[in-house]
Amino acid sequence: MRIVLDAMGSDGRPVPDVAGGVMAAREWGDEIILVGPEEVVRAELAKHDTAGLSITVVHAPEVIDMHEHTDAVKRKRDASIRVGMRMVRDGQADAFVSAGNTAAVLASAIFDLGRIRGIKRPALATIYPVAPNPVLLLDNGATADCKPEYLLQFARMGVAYVERVWGIPTPRVGLVSNGEEPDKGNMLVRDTYALLARSGLNFVGNVEPKEVTRGAADVVLTDGFTGNVMLKTTEAIASFLFRFLRRELTGGPLNKVALVLLLPGLVAMLPGLALLVPSLRRVAKRLDYAEYGGALLMGVDGVVVIGHGRSSAKAVKNAVGQARRAVMGNVLEAVRAGAAQAVPEGEDEE
Amino acid sequence: MRIVLDAMGSDGRPVPDVAGGVMAAREWGDEIILVGPEEVVRAELAKHDTAGLSITVVHAPEVIDMHEHTDAVKRKRDASIRVGMRMVRDGQADAFVSAGNTAAVLASAIFDLGRIRGIKRPALATIYPVAPNPVLLLDNGATADCKPEYLLQFARMGVAYVERVWGIPTPRVGLVSNGEEPDKGNMLVRDTYALLARSGLNFVGNVEPKEVTRGAADVVLTDGFTGNVMLKTTEAIASFLFRFLRRELTGGPLNKVALVLLLPGLVAMLPGLALLVPSLRRVAKRLDYAEYGGALLMGVDGVVVIGHGRSSAKAVKNAVGQARRAVMGNVLEAVRAGAAQAVPEGEDEE
């Protein structure tokens, strides 16, 4: 498998991007094609031991910044994102991975790869981190304004992914709402509910956030605006709670005394804590976005994974992992086949 | 001050409702008017020591269930919610408080009190619990489908509340979005941004969830669907984290051994932990919705507070507290004055 990796994607580029690519090449033995300004990428790559790994560099002189507008994408034909995307289009690579500007990757994917016939809008699919079982949330930000038919298409794409990659037959599909009853939600949710109910999918109805965190559905559907706010709220709460606990527990002078008094206890607890390490690690892992790697951009005609801008090397490696699982599961084929079926005979594309 | 309290509101009615009313009467010395089926309410009230308190009972033979449709509200003219609402309308009470069916209270408020002239849709204003300073989030569920002008009206109402009740001059107004830049968001957010930017309000721009949890705005605006999902996500995450930690830490047989090994340490920690109690209590308090009481329904022509269906007596008492602060702060007058100004000369109501 050949995966093109944007060496100039993350905020800390090219450091975590290149390191993550090296980690991925070592872990899975895939061919990693680093795309970016050749000298910069080669200089960074030289810092790693790449003996026996299959890593190549493809030159892309231009770079798109985190805050650049999507029209920069059209202008900069030789940006790393665009060069990588064209390699996927031309069959020179199986997938493209970038921890760069989401809007730019999205724009380039639509521009250079195009949408799959029958899919009107793309969706970003992410693993929702706070549930007892894997939950695929989409859309988390590709299409902020949705129509019911878009959400139905997202549902079919999500189901294809979960079947192919997670091996779950007839995944449960839930629709994010502010109440479980079919008449709850905004207009979009109520209309989508009706469409999903007669879609033939395993639709379990509306799900409130607490049901999502209890794993009540395998595929959780929502428009890109709500999905993004929901995901960012989740991240914000988790980080707030840890911050708040730390500040409260180490804040006042009384607490400083308390912490000193706690010391002998903590020492006595060491053997017990050591046994708990695997559990504590599972808790931390659960909330660490780096474990998930990124979001799969669905609906465009190629496998594209977008990582977090703040990606570490591990996060970049896991984004590559996500791309390879999508390739191995043949998710694209499944989405293409499903979408083609869903397009009524003779209907024109929008 | 006279506050009508729905004795048949909460899931556990009339127990927490009556107990919360008694607590409120004792704490603030206000007159509490319990509304509900007289015999039921009096029987419950008899379990409390009400000597010296100003508590009266007003008979309302009908009750609206948690899952009843809003048309039940029209039909049941003598339901506790409707009787209480009419007392506010007729000046027999200063505010109405219920931990009942939100949709029913909302419908009754619009039906019996009417909207304030110049306010097209009502909004539920809640204290967002996860921030270093008080943050007023609205709408959290009254109006799922919004137009930009509704959000502008919500902003003015939220500002009136924060100025009057929290005493913050020219509160900072933030708009929930999936990115800080003015071009981020869905269509509603982008159009609302433009409206807020020239509103004369202290508009600080788009706020992502992480900014909200950092207290970047005093008034946080969003449509009722997104606000409700955001608030419910917040509650779900906090409860998931505690559940997950507990399960992980007490789960396997190895962890059981670990906990036994931890015991001597915990004993040694007791003096230190005792000193930390106030801090730990602050953390727990922060996440306890019972501390906040409920949501203020803004835009209707009367002070109405809707509590959580799962309210405890303390939550009911705090909902009464929220109503009395709104009355004392003369929030309704401020909203009426602001809204009247905003209605252009001669414009007809929708």
Residue A90 in any domain: the answer is yes
Q: Is residue A232 part of a domain?
A: yes
Only one residue has tokens 């004795």, namely B7
pLDDT digits (tens, 9 = 90+) for B227-279: 999 999 998 887 777 676 666 656 666 666 666 666 666 666 666 666 666 65
The pLDDT of residue B318 is above 60? yes
On the question of pLDDT at B349 being above 70, the answer is no
**A328 touching chain B per CB within 8 A:** no
Number of domains in chain B: 2
What's this model's pTM, rounded to 2 decimal places? 0.89
Residues B112 and B174 placed together within one structural domain of the fold: no
Does the CB of A280 have a partner CB in chain B at under 8 Å?
Answer: yes
| Domain boundary, last residue among A250, A271, A301 | A250
Tokens of B169: 């001059």
Residues B136 and B159 in one domain: yes
Same domain, B143 and B42: no
Residue A2 lies in a domain: yes
Q: Which domain holds residue B36?
A: 1-119+292-333
Domain end among A220, A250, A280? A250
Q: B229 and A225 in contact by Cβ < 8 A?
A: no
The reply to whether A284 falls in a domain is: no
Cα separation of A196 and B225, whole Å? 19
pLDDT, mean of residues B193-217: 96
Kindly give the confidence (pLDDT) of every residue in chain A, 350 residues in length, as a single tens digit, with 9 standing for 90 and above: 999 999 999 999 999 999 999 999 999 999 999 999 999 999 999 999 999 999 999 999 999 988 888 888 999 999 999 999 999 999 999 999 999 889 999 999 999 999 999 999 999 999 998 787 889 999 999 999 999 999 999 999 999 999 999 999 999 999 999 999 999 999 999 999 999 999 999 999 999 999 999 999 999 999 999 999 999 999 888 777 767 666 665 666 666 666 666 666 666 666 666 666 665 666 566 666 666 678 999 999 999 999 988 889 999 999 999 999 999 999 999 999 888 776 555 554 44
In a domain, B341, yes or no: no
Average pLDDT, chain B: 89
User: Counting Cβ atoms within 10 Å, is residue B182 exposed (0-12), middle (13-18) or buried (19+)?
Assistant: middle
The phi-psi region of residue A346 (left if phi > 0; otherwise alpha if psi is between -120 and 50; otherwise beta) is: left
Give the residue-averaged pLDDT of B98-126. 95
Same domain, B225 and B138: yes
- At A184 the pLDDT is 93
Cis, peptide link before residue B14, omega less than 30° from 0: yes
pLDDT value for A241: 72
pLDDT digits (tens, 9 = 90+) for B268-295: 666 666 666 665 666 566 666 666 678 9
Is residue B284, in this structure, part of any structural domain at all?
Answer: no
Higher pLDDT, B257 or B70: B70
Structure tokens at B139: 């709408």
Please say whether the beta carbons of A303 and A294 come within 8 A.
no
Contact A236 B67 (CB under 8 A): no
CB contact at 8 A, A16 and A9: no
Q: Looking at residue A346, which CATH number applies to its domain?
A: 3.40.718.10
pLDDT value of position B169: 96
Question: Same domain, yes or no, for B86 and B148?
Answer: no
Residue A260 lies in a domain: no
* HEC profile of B117-183: CCCCCCEEEEECCCCCCCCEEECCCCCCCCCHHHHHHHHHHHHHHHHHHHCCCCCEEEEECCCCCCC
HSE value, Cβ hemisphere, 13 Å, CA-based, for B52: 5
Interchain CB distance below 8 Å, B213 and A225: no
The answer to whether residues B20 and B52 belong to one domain is: yes
Residues B126 and B245 in one domain: yes
Q: What are the residues facing B307 on neighbouring strands? A: B294
**Are residue B244 and residue B323 in the same domain, yes or no?**
no
Place B350 in a pLDDT band, splitting at 50, 70 and 90: very low
Q: E-strand spans in chain B?
A: 2-6, 31-36, 55-59, 95-98, 123-127, 136-138, 172-176, 202-207, 219-221, 294-298, 303-307
Cβ of B279 and A223 within 8 Å?
A: no
Tally of CA atoms within 13 A in the half-sphere of A13 that contains its CB: 25
Position A268 in a domain: no
| B14: helix, strand or coil | coil
Q: Where are the beta strands (DSSP E) in A140-284?
A: 172-176, 202-207, 219-221
pLDDT for res B329: 95
Following CA atoms A109, A112, A118, A119 in sequence, which dihedral angle do they give, to the nearest 10 degrees? 10
Instruction: Please give the order of strands across the beta sheet that includes A219-221.
Output: A55-59, A31-36, A2-6, A95-98, A303-307, A294-298, A123-127, A136-138, A219-221, A172-176, A202-207
- Least CA distance to B282: which residue of chain A? A248
Residues A113 and A95 in one domain: yes
Contacts of B269 in chain A (CB under 8 A): 261-262, 265-266, 269
What lies within 8 Å, CB to CB, of B111 at 6+ separation is B73, B74, B82, B85
- Return the residue of A nearest to B235 by Cα: A210
Q: Please tell me whether residues A142 and A111 are part of one structural domain.
A: no
Q: Do residues B131 and B85 both lie within one domain?
A: no
Of the residues A250, A274, A303, which one is the last residue of a structural domain? A250
Q: Are residues B106 and B129 in the same domain?
A: no
Contact A40, A64 (CB under 8 A): no
Residues A1, A25 contacting (CB under 8 angstroms): no
